[in-house]
Amino acid sequence: MKFLAFLFIYFNFLSIVLALDTITIDQPIKDGDTIVSSGGVYELGFFRPGNSTNRYVGIWYKKISTGTVVWVANRNNPLSDSSGVLMINPDGILVLVNSTNVTIWSTNSSTILKNPIARLLDSGNLVIREENENRPEFFTWQSFDYPGDTLLPGMKLGRNLVTGLDWYSSSWKSPDDPAIGEFVERMDVQGYPQLFVWKGSSITFSSGPWNGLAFSSSPSLQPNTYFTFGFVLNQEEVYYKYDLKNGSLLTRVVLTPGGLINHYTWIDRTQSWFLYLTAQFDNCDRFALCGPYARCVINNSPPCDCLRGFEPKYPQEWDAADWSSGCVRRTPLACQQDGFRKFTGIKVPDTQKSWFNESIGLEECGKLCLADCNCTAYSNMDVRDGGSGCLLWFGDLIDIRELSPNQQDLFVRVAASEVDKKRKKKKSRLIAIVSAVAATCILSLLAWCALFHRRKKSKGREVGADDMELPLFDLVTVANATKNFSSANIIGEGGFGPVYKGKLRNGPEIAVKRLSEYSGQGLQELKNELILISKLQHRNLVKLLGCCLEGVERMLIYEYMPNNSLDYFIFDPSRKESLSWRNRYEIAMGISRGLLYLHQDSRLRIIHRDLKASNILLDTDLNPRISDFGLAKIFGADQMEGKTKRVIGTYGYMSPEYAVDGKYSVKSDVFSLGVLLLEIVSGRKNRKFHHLSHHHNLLGHAWLLLNEGKALELMDECLKDSYVESQVLRCIQVSLLCVQKLPEDRPTMASVVFWLSNDGVELPQPKQPGFFIERDSTNQSNESTDERCVTDNELSLTILEAR
């Protein structure tokens, strides 16, 4: 009897253990029930994501408090209530049904099982198999074959070439909605395989080909103490996967709703996920940003540069920061008489139009490419042990960027004369030096003569437009266009002077900026603006049409912006309602892109120094145009900071280091942008902001709200019917990162644009803003003063308030 009692207790114990991680025909799970993997790593059950009211079946981490979900069954078919039941039927099909027994989701195995069970493994894999079968090859279905947004250790990302099964990741729509989102990460098997991130039918990111150590775009993916990774390519399958060295470590790779590939590791000490690695580092990771035969160099300005031996296909587009048409060869090819130029330290091009062979060496690879007139480049496949394999490219070479360290050399086909130029260059160097010395002497003499002649000829005409290739408007034309500078035609007035609306005969509407004799700014500022803006072309910068320099008149003629300036809308109680959140968000993005162009992508590195709401003009479609370059400064390629004793700018937008010490840099512009973004979100002026419970300015108030988890309270009341919460919160946090006190803590404009346009990327926590001070609420009498000057032995400070 004792033995029978022992057996009874034993088998009951086994059934309890079995039920912990298993669904059987007799043991389905209802909403509220869960199963847990044998080691307690993962849990499966019903859940509600974020603020959603829908119910889903998913798998999440059991061991951590956040309950991070890694897989969802019915991601596109949610349950509307808690009546769902997950069961396995006698045929071995896992089925999710609702209260009316309608199937919401099911697995798709055609194999019939005798005693089917569904078991959750400690790997996070949900498998269906015979009850007593543990071999992986006898799973009839597994969740690892159908990833969601998360790649776990042991999962494959690629394709079974025999069955056609596609292992790919797809993003969630949002943190509240696990339905398939905009982005898909998938292995492309045209040519030599590579991973793509797709947004609809457009590629946004390419991993580049595997080079034996890592994907070409990820040289920083190095052997480490946490996990191993590898790439498998054979006749049956092609895939990438990674495995853990330490089974107790929790790690995951996520395709975010914004299309980023982020690798996270759980840190027990902080009880949070640590972003270990991200695939997309900067703007140069945007697929084919620079077009064919060009490379992207993130620290250059502009970032796109033609490969040696190539030149821009359409120079005007190139100068306007549109690099999509790329570059073309300077010298036409001649097939088997061509040569090859070696490029190092780069991400090799897109391999959709490529051919590969693992057994051919690099020398034979080069011969094969030369013999085929359609072959445009070659490289080895595997960089280990001196290199092996052959990879040939056909067609245009795209998606190249500078990337070091990268051991995979690329040999690009060029005309033989281009290769010979390199040899001839050394021979001609001595001749060039001698010629340069002689030419310098001659040119110096000619320049002195020309300068003397110009000064004599101009007779006091201080500013000219000839060198800037700008049209010169005569005074009569401008006067007629503005109805003889009628006061009725004045559309604005700043430190420079009045701005008039005009209409050229048989031409466009114009805005005429006329230097006033009483101007706080003057001839130097006008000349500065002429020199700068004539060389800049970008859709988010105002376009200078020409100038008028006749007699005592000094005028700039711009394209007319029919919607006035940004401050005309956002600070006016009635007009601000006409700008929806979508309008404001697009304006914020446009301003940011324009500033990125000034700092990084234009031929010159420009510090604006007076970015504010009144200097943002709006065109017919409410697209923003940065204007007023009178105070802007040009930086050299290696210059990072400037200093002045004459600080000129607008109170409320100036960075601490500029206002106090006269130091300016790209980071002082970033500070101004941060203030402007907060004004766009809130509809409130930083300088004139007041609050009943404290005396901080708008920056301080926003920082307090963010730290209290109340950032949405900053939002303009009139946006409540149009706002997108995630965008508003992201805009506020990015703004506060821009206005941090220390310049080195503030992001670059490349990071700002990247953060604003990628909803899934995690943002740092901002530190205390600059000018985070308590003001005396009783001492506000001089707040309306338009201009005030502070002078000491070191610094003359002139602050111009926006009008």
Q: Tens digit of pLDDT for each residue in 163-215?
A: 899 999 999 999 999 999 999 999 999 999 999 999 999 999 999 999 999 99
pLDDT in tens, 750-780: 889 889 988 777 888 999 998 765 444 444 4
pLDDT in tens, 703-733: 999 999 999 999 999 998 899 999 999 999 9
SS3 (DSSP) at 751 = helix
pLDDT at 441 over 50: no
766-784: b (≥16 Cβ within 10 Å) or e: bbebbbbeebeeeeeeeee
What pLDDT is stored for residue 789 in this prediction?
34
CA distances from 155 to 183, 327, 549, 697 (A): 19, 40, 70, 51
466 part of the active site: no
Considering only 85-89, 93-97, 154-158, 422-426, which range has the smallest mean pLDDT? 422-426
Q: 309: closest CA among 271, 269, 342? A: 342
Looking at 145, 601, 610, 716, which residue is catalytic? 610
Query: All domains of the chain, ordered by start, with CATH?
Result: 19-146 (2.90.10.10), 148-281 (2.90.10), 284-419 (3.50.4.10), 466-559 (3.30.200.20), 566-776+783-800 (1.10.510.10)
pLDDT in tens, 69-127: 999 999 999 999 999 999 999 889 999 999 999 999 999 877 788 889 999 999 999 99
What pLDDT is stored for residue 772 in this prediction?
67
pLDDT at 420 over 50: yes
Instruction: Provide the mean pLDDT of the chain.
Output: 84
**Cα–Cα distance measured from residue 724 to residue 720, given in angstroms and rounded to the nearest whole number:** 9
How many CB atoms sit inside 10 A of residue 455's CB?
11
Q: 347: closest CA among 410, 400, 285? A: 400
How confident is the model over 139-154, as a mean pLDDT?
95
What pLDDT is stored for residue 634 in this prediction?
82
What pLDDT is stored for residue 16 in this prediction?
42
pLDDT at 792 over 60: no
Contact 516, 510 (CB under 8 A): no
Query: What pTM was computed for the model?
Result: 0.58
Return the axis-axis angle of helices 581-596 and 749-757, rounded to nearest 10°.
Answer: 150
Considering only 237-251, 389-403, 669-683, which range has the smallest mean pLDDT? 237-251
Among left, alpha and beta (phi > 0; psi -120 to 50; other), residue 460 is left
**Cα–Cα distance measured from residue 214 to residue 346, given in angstroms and rounded to the nearest whole number:** 14
What pLDDT is stored for residue 440 in this prediction?
53
Contact 206, 217 (CB under 8 A): yes
Return the axis-axis angle of helices 698-707 and 725-738, rounded to nearest 10°.
Answer: 120
